[in-house]
Structure 1
Amino acid sequence: MNIKVMTAKDVTKKVINKEQLFILDVRNVNDFEEWKIEGENFNYLNIPYFDLLDGVEEIVDKLPTNMDVLVVCAKEGSSVMVAEMLAEKEFSVYYLEGGMKAWSEYLEPVKVGDLNGGGELYQFVRIGKGCLSYMVISNEEAAIIDPTRMIERYISLVEEKGVKISHVFDTHLHADHISGGRRIAEISGAQYWLPPKDATDVTFNYNALEGGNEVKIGNSTINIHALYSPGHTIGSTSFIIDEKYLLSGDILFIDSIGRPDLAGLAEDWVSDLRESLYVRYRELSEELIVLPAHFMMIEELNEDGTVAAKLGTLFAKNHGLNIEDEQEFRKIVTENLPPQPNAYQEIRETNMGKINPDVEQQREMEIGPNRCAVR
């Protein structure tokens, strides 16, 4: 019996390299339809585990014999049992280590490019959740933007590079995932920045991140320029790094724009969203490379695994940037919204410091797809 294991890192490489993979997902149908592992060349079969308790005979003719089969469940246990049954039928079968919980938490650091003065910019791709965070490195210092709660991945890269974290930023108060910003700042002694208009109810101290702030990283010419860009939240703030990169937070994505309703103020904030995208961003260089805080679809990944595009390209191709009539924009933005993220109110309260769920509770709160964009 030849049962093998595949890690979230292994699957991520297959996604980025557009490799073939057949996934047998043994979660409930509703869970599968709401959120699954996505790959451009992946094929799927969803059969709930309870339908396979008496054996896999009824599905063997639905599985390929010419490619690997990856069995996936929520936490791992069920997939191991199904994989063992398939191995007895001589399939090339793997199970996903840690299940969908591990998939939700995996971060893949991808180098975006070099900066002036010898610095580097990294994008951390949370492949299973669609979250994107960033690290700027220069002259033995690092700044981290929009970190997730899986802070070990950032600490690991910092240690590998031999640099010290000096600044941590959140572009806004997140509602779809728990920020690791404060924890990283506590551990490293870094300064933690948050837009004050998003921080009226927080229970902790922070540096006020406002439009016009300039923060230098290391002793080089690299700087982070903050650009106030409300709409997703009232405090949402973008960053221009090295006059080359635009970190757009949750205002602008590659294939969509940010939703304004996660604090219950869609009607109030839609005008801010339009002004940020149609006025403030129009004043910027179209050569800036947009690096968002989320991606919606796996097709948004570039060949190298990054999620990035020139601002001029998005002005030409992103439908959300090409709605001339203001009333039509308002209608689309307020009526074409996906379901709100799971436990988003609890996630906001966690990011405010009002509640302190344990690790397992945090995992449960974050399970599910990214839902930060207008459809």
Structure 2
Amino acid sequence: MSIQKWNASQVAKKVINNEELFILDVRNADAFEDWKIDGRRFEYLNIPYFELLDGIEEILPEIPSDKEVLVVCAKEGSSLMIAEMLAEAGRDVAYLAGGMKSWSEYLEPIKVGDLTGGGELYQFVRLGKGCLSYMIISEGEAAIIDAVRFTNIFTSFAEQQNVKIKHVFDTHLHADHISGGRHIAEATGAAYYLPPKDAEEVVFQYTPLVDGTTVQIGASKIDVGAIYSPGHTIGSTSFVVDNKYLLTGDILFIDSIGRPDLAGLADDWVGDLRVTLYKRYRELSDELIVLPAHFMIIDELNEDGTVAKRLGDLFAQNHGLNIQDEEEFRHVVTDQLPPQPNAYQEIRQVNMGKITPAPDEQTEMEIGPNRCAVR
């Protein structure tokens, strides 16, 4: 029977298109339980590859013959070996090129909507890490918000769209992934913006991103307005784009709210978080479409693969926006937090410019699921 080599893009399409897939994950059980390829209609079997070295006959009855089967491991080698064994046993099977490493790094660009005067807004969905980046395009110019470290993806996309990157923003100093923002700015000559309250220890030049900062993209004058919205970090800043979209960074998600503890200051920042969510955001239009910098669960994806929802709907449905008692809110966001992101302290150091790990080290630092939210 046949063996196919699938890339992360092919798997992403199956996630977004809500297709069926059976995944045989041959990583260790703890790695699988911590982080896997999520799909609404995916089924899973986790058997560490070393348990299959003597043969796969015992698991054959558990592997469907009427569904597509994908074998997954950490970096590819083990999944290819097991896929070959399954093929020899008469099964059609695929394996994931580059393993979970490639899945962690893949971004799917999806158009969110049109802007005034012919502009466009794109969301770059990093399915394997839950990161969301954005590109605003208008009449030959572009702005990027919360770019991840794979800078060539953004610069190549800009070239395809025949636009010049003029502005690059980070809503805050990220702790769960390495930012590509300043590197894109250096490569393109764009201005790089960072909230100064998050930038006290950075060792590079930047343009201060403060409350009320407004830039215009292209001749069609797409306004990108900054709103100081602390709580996840002390400098966290949101954006209103074209009076239509609210980019919330890691302050507000579709299914949760941002955690305040990644700089070790949860007790200090929880009050800021509540003011942002319960006062500043309440002053905004319910019709704004919320576009966060992360998602936590696959159910947060819309049918087209985007992660977006009306602010008014979140006020009604998001539990984190409906805790009226301040002490209960403090308890929820300081005492019920998930594990902190992998290597988050080192990632903060990278994003400050203080250390520059090799690419393989950066990959290892980012391995694992998104953990920016309160459960």
TM-score, scaled to structure 1: 0.99
| Partner in structure 2 of residue 2 of structure 1 | 2
- Counterpart of 1:245 in structure 2 is 245
The answer as to 2:309 corresponding to 1:309 is yes
Distance 2:281 2:2 in 1: 55
Superposed, which structure 2 residues align to 1:1-375 within 5 Å?
Answer: 1-375=1-375
Q: CA–CA distance in 2 between the matches of 1:81 and 1:55?
A: 11
SS of 1:286's equivalent? Answer: coil
Greater CA drift, 217-226 or 284-293: 217-226
- How far does the alpha carbon of each residue in 1:275-299 deviate from its partner, in whole angstroms, 9 at most, with x for none? 0000000000000000000000001
Shift of 1:172: 0.1
Q: Find the aligned partners of 1:90 and 1:308 in 2 and give their Cα distance.
A: 43
Following TM superposition, by how much is the alpha carbon of 1:203 offset from its aligned partner in structure 2, in angstroms?
Answer: 0.3
Compare 85-94 and 364-373 and name the one that shifted more: 85-94
Whole-Å Cα distance in 2 between the matches of residues 8 and 365 of structure 1? Answer: 20
What SS does structure 2 have at the residue aligned with 1:314? Answer: helix
Q: 1:104·1:129 contact (CA, 8 Å) conserved in 2?
A: yes
* C-alpha contact 1:133 1:146 (8 A) present in aligned 2: yes
Structure 1 contact 139–218 (Cα < 8 Å) conserved: yes
- Provide runs of 4+ in structure 1 moved above 2 Å: none
Look up the equivalent residue of 2:102 and give its one-letter code: A
How far off its partner does 1:221 sit? Answer: 2.4
- SS class of match (1:183): helix
User: Which letter maps to 1:249?
Assistant: G
Q: CA deviation at 1:361?
A: 0.3
Distance 1:176 1:39 in 2: 22
Deviation at 1:317, TM superposition (A): 0.1
Secondary structure at the aligned position of 1:95 is classed as: strand
Deviations 1:295-328 (A, max 9, x none): 0000100001100000000000000000000000
Distance, in Å, in 2 between the alignment partners of 1:45 and 1:34 is 14
Which whole-Å CA distance do the structure 2 matches of 1:90 and 1:285 have between them? Answer: 58
Shift of 1:31: 0.2
Cα deviation digits, residues 251-278 of structure 1 (max 9, x gap): 0000000000000000000000000000
- Cα distance, 1:58 vs structure 2: 1.1
Identity of aligned residues (%): 71
> What SS is found at the alignment partner of 1:135?
strand
CA contact (8 A) 1:67 1:92 kept: no
Whole-angstrom CA distance in 1 between matches of 2:210 and 2:100: 37
Cα separation, 1, equivalents of 2:91 and 2:341: 37
Amino acid at match of 1:43: E
> Distance in 2 between the 1:18 and 1:334 partners?
35
Q: Structure 1 unaligned segments of length 5 or more: list them.
A: none
Q: How far apart are the structure 2 equivalents of 1:246 and 1:22?
A: 37
Aligned length in residues: 375
1: CA distance, partners of 2:247 / 2:372: 16
Distance 1:34 1:313 in 2: 30
Counterpart of 1:194, as a letter, is L
Q: How far did 1:220 drift?
A: 1.4
| Other structure's SS at 2:58 match | coil
Give the residue type in structure 2 aligned to 1:44: Y
Contact 1:232 1:258 in 2 (8 A): yes
What is the one-letter code of the residue matched to 1:138? S
Query: Residue type of the partner of 2:55?
Result: G
